[in-house]
């Protein structure tokens, strides 16, 4: 069963324009086109179970206060970088939106046990054939 999609509202996200890194000549030193996204998990409208799974992610973009910080600077325009950062946050939320299925323990079938034992006997016979012949 597919759980309902948890959409991140743009109103819950705080964007800051920062200087981009990398090559770009003088333009990179003058224009703040990279976007830094900040999303407070605790203050968001996400369901509580999704918030808990999001906080539990082993991701360096989530700080100790439960704030997700994503920096996007691959595009030359600020709106495209903001859209990219928002898409990455949404992908992160989608990853934890559906709870992981619990594993139910099963027992091997009778046929699989017999096949395993036949394989072991066959391998043992091959190894026995490699031994020296006694006097």
Q: Is the pTM of this model over 0.75?
A: no
The string of pLDDT tens digits covering residues 7-32 is 888 899 999 999 887 776 676 677 78
Q: For the structural domain made of 10-97, what CATH number should be given?
A: 3.30.160.20
> How many Cα atoms are found within 13 Å in the side-chain-facing hemisphere of 117?
7
Instruction: Provide the 8-state DSSP code for 63.
Output: -
Identify the pLDDT of residue 1: 42
The string of pLDDT tens digits covering residues 100-118 is 889 999 999 999 999 999 9
Check if the beta carbon of residue 109 is closer than 8 Å to that of residue 115: no
The string of pLDDT tens digits covering residues 70-98 is 999 888 889 999 999 999 999 999 999 98
Identify the pLDDT of residue 39: 95
Q: In the chain, what are the domain boundaries?
A: 10-97
């Amino acid at each position: 069963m597919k759980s309902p999609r948890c959409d991140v509202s743009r109103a819950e996200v705080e964007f800051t324009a920062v200087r981009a890194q990398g090559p770009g000549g003088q333009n990179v030193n003058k224009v703040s086109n990279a976007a830094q996204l900040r999303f407070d998990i605790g203050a968001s409208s996400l369901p509580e179970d999704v918030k808990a799974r999001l906080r539990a992610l082993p991701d360096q973009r989530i700080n100790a206060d439960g704030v997700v910080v994503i920096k996007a600077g691959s595009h030359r325009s600020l709106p495209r970088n903001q859209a990219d950062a928002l898409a990455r946050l949404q992908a992160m939320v989608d990853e934890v939106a559906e709870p992981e299925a619990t594993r139910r323990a099963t027992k091997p079938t009778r046929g699989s046990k017999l096949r395993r034992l036949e394989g072991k006997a066959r391998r043992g016979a091959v190894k026995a054939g490699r031994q020296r012949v006694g006097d």
